[in-house]
Amino acid sequence: MSKAITTREADYSQWYNDLVIRGGLADYSAVRGCMVIKPYGYALWENMRDQLDKMFKATGHVNAYFPLFIPKSFLSKEAAHVEGFAKECAVVTHYRLKNDPDGNGIVVDPEAKLEEELIVRPTSETIIWNTYRDWIQSYRDLPLLINQWANVVRWEMRTRLFLRTAEFLWQEGHTAHASKEEAIEETKKMLDVYAEFVENYMAVPVIKGVKTPNERFAGAEDTYCIEALMQDGKALQAGTSHFLGQNFAKAFDVKFLNKDNSQEYVWATSWGVSTRLIGALIMAHSDDQGLVLPPRIAPLQVVIVPIYKGEDSKPVIDEKANAIVHALRAKGVSVKYDHHDNARPGWKFAEYELQGVPVRIALGLRDIEQNVAEIARRDTREKQTVSLEGIDAFVEKLLEDIQENMYHKAKGFRDSNIREANSWNEFVQLLDEKAGFVSAHWDGSGETEEKIKELTKATIRCIPLHNPQEAGNCILSGKPSSQRVLFARAY
């Protein structure tokens, strides 16, 4: 393993790839566009998943599981939906293999063609709404608040580790409601859950907003999103929550009997976040030394590295270190004592920095004589000497500080990279020279939006919620506009 990772300045994309691979989060696989999530990366995902799952349960949702395969006819029932996904679906056409009669290994058995082809789910609205039809009879069956943790497949032409792979892990919530108002409330509630999770646990600040019709989820009436800013100034959609209106209820004939004994179509929402969040996490916080992980979701929060001086020092240091391990575990801190003799301290320091472990404690005889330890925090790379008395409380507090500091640092960066543009020239200049979000007036038309995208590669990331109303003129067309929207180049 070579020592240095690519710096952000030298090659941002390569830096990102280096962190994912060398940080031990994931590997490329033998399958085009698909990645292997390694134990360290999966532990990170498990922490994210577990926390989100708690938050979903706390808001009244339950988990269920629907099939990986979707009959082709289902997908075509909602016109906008099929159009949105048709170009990236994997299709199962046969159900059996056989030995090649020419002796060249194994071939698809042409006799085993499926009557109706199956689509590997790119998302599950269709199979779920087809099922909900049977589950919903009356308003008493509503709301139906279901989430599923699953893998989905979208046949992407160009893939990037975590950010865009052909198969990825996610959760998709699918809810059914008796009224439009309640469904919209659910859509916004789950957006808030996502924002709370991403900000408080991942320490990544987000902007809540609504997508323009062009950027809307295929089949939705409204798509709400949280948008985050990466260190290279590109935006990344971190989560989406959709108000689906009655589109899927109508496509799958899902009706309920209301209190007045009349049939109504059900109102729907769906919402999801994926392993893409891991990409956001990496690009929001990490530095040229490696990953920087927020304590609240880091697979390992604290590592203790002993500094041995001769065989005699081992039992002394081990004893003190183990005492710290026990004290920290008692406080619910995840900690590892790396006493392995196959690497020297300097090597371990670099390795744990690469892996983004928030806190490192170095402990040697010299420290023990003075009843102290050296504590290094990953986010600022600062070191300090701390008394062994009450070191557990100190670390507990430090982890909170790191979490806070990471959020504020990311927020400071994000806030200083939202700029207003009041002319086309200024708009183009800001995008090219500063990147980040550009807040500008837009005339509200899809044509203008498309044109701006063509000219600058920037898209409207969102119309922020609670957006201040302000009269102005569209940056491109000059037509009147009532509010600014956020533009950025995006992942």
Partner RNA sequence: CGGGAUGUAGCGUAGCCCGGUUAUCGCGCCUGGUUUGGGACCAGGAGGUCGCAAGUUCGAAUCUUGCCAUCCCGACCA
User: What's CA 278's distance to the chain center, in Å?
Assistant: 5
Should residue 458 be labelled a site residue for RNA when binding is judged by CB under 7 A?
A: no
The residue from 171, 240, 241, 301 that contacts RNA (CB under 7 A) is 240
Q: Whose Cβ is closer to RNA: residue 301's or residue 481's?
A: 301
| Nearest-approach distance from CB 337 to RNA, in angstroms | 14
- Give the Cα separation of 397 and 385 in Å (integer): 15
The residue from 88, 196, 400, 447 that contacts RNA (CB under 7 A) is 88
| Nearest-approach distance from CB 332 to RNA, in angstroms | 26
The residue from 112, 323, 347, 455 that contacts RNA (CB under 7 A) is 347
The residue from 68, 114, 365, 465 that contacts RNA (CB under 7 A) is 365
The residue from 42, 66, 168, 407 that contacts RNA (CB under 7 A) is 168
The residue from 367, 392, 396, 449 that contacts RNA (CB under 7 A) is 367
Which residues from 258-287 bind RNA, rule CB under 7 A?
A: 274-276
The stretch near RNA (CB under 7 A) out of 57-65, 132-140, 349-357, 468-476 is 349-357
Torsion-angle region of residue 97: left (phi > 0), alpha (psi -120 to 50) or beta? beta
Q: Whose Cβ is closer to RNA: residue 143's or residue 219's?
A: 219
The stretch near RNA (CB under 7 A) out of 41-49, 55-63, 341-349, 464-472 is 341-349
Q: Whose Cβ is closer to RNA: residue 326's or residue 457's?
A: 457
Should residue 364 be labelled a site residue for RNA when binding is judged by CB under 7 A?
A: yes
Should residue 353 be labelled a site residue for RNA when binding is judged by CB under 7 A?
A: yes
| Nearest-approach distance from CB 258 to RNA, in angstroms | 33
Should residue 158 be labelled a site residue for RNA when binding is judged by CB under 7 A?
A: yes
Should residue 7 be labelled a site residue for RNA when binding is judged by CB under 7 A?
A: no
The stretch near RNA (CB under 7 A) out of 54-62, 130-138, 211-219, 393-401 is 211-219
The stretch near RNA (CB under 7 A) out of 43-51, 57-65, 301-309, 393-401 is 301-309
Distances (CA, A) of 488 to 205, 211, 299: 16, 13, 32
Q: Whose Cβ is closer to RNA: residue 233's or residue 345's?
A: 345
Should residue 87 be labelled a site residue for RNA when binding is judged by CB under 7 A?
A: yes
* 346 contacts 276 by C-beta, under 8 angstroms: no
| Nearest-approach distance from CB 108 to RNA, in angstroms | 15
Should residue 351 be labelled a site residue for RNA when binding is judged by CB under 7 A?
A: yes
Among the listed residues 210, 212, 209, 211, the one whose alpha carbon sits nearest the alpha carbon of residue 445: 212
Should residue 344 be labelled a site residue for RNA when binding is judged by CB under 7 A?
A: yes
Q: Whose Cβ is closer to RNA: residue 265's or residue 349's?
A: 349
Among the listed residues 373, 427, 129, the one whose alpha carbon sits nearest the alpha carbon of residue 270: 129
Should residue 341 be labelled a site residue for RNA when binding is judged by CB under 7 A?
A: yes
Among the listed residues 407, 392, 405, 397, the one whose alpha carbon sits nearest the alpha carbon of residue 335: 392
| Nearest-approach distance from CB 87 to RNA, in angstroms | 5
Q: Which amino acid is at 20?
A: V
Q: Whose Cβ is closer to RNA: residue 163's or residue 333's?
A: 163
* 402 contacts 377 by C-beta, under 8 angstroms: yes
Should residue 164 be labelled a site residue for RNA when binding is judged by CB under 7 A?
A: yes
The residue from 74, 201, 248, 308 that contacts RNA (CB under 7 A) is 308
Among the listed residues 86, 81, 88, the one whose alpha carbon sits nearest the alpha carbon of residue 219: 81
Should residue 30 be labelled a site residue for RNA when binding is judged by CB under 7 A?
A: yes
383 forms bridges with which residues in the sheet? 376
The stretch near RNA (CB under 7 A) out of 49-57, 139-147, 254-262, 305-313 is 305-313
The residue count for binding RNA (CB under 7 A) is 70
Distances (CA, A) of 245 to 134, 142, 251: 19, 15, 11
The stretch near RNA (CB under 7 A) out of 54-62, 151-159, 388-396, 409-417 is 151-159
- Give the Cα separation of 297 and 46 in Å (integer): 9
| Nearest-approach distance from CB 28 to RNA, in angstroms | 4
Q: Which residues are at the interface with RNA (CB under 7 A)? A: 1-4, 13-14, 17, 28-34, 84, 87-88, 154, 156-161, 163-166, 168, 215, 217-218, 237, 240, 274-276, 289, 307-311, 341-351, 353-354, 362-367, 373-374, 376, 381, 383, 457, 490-491
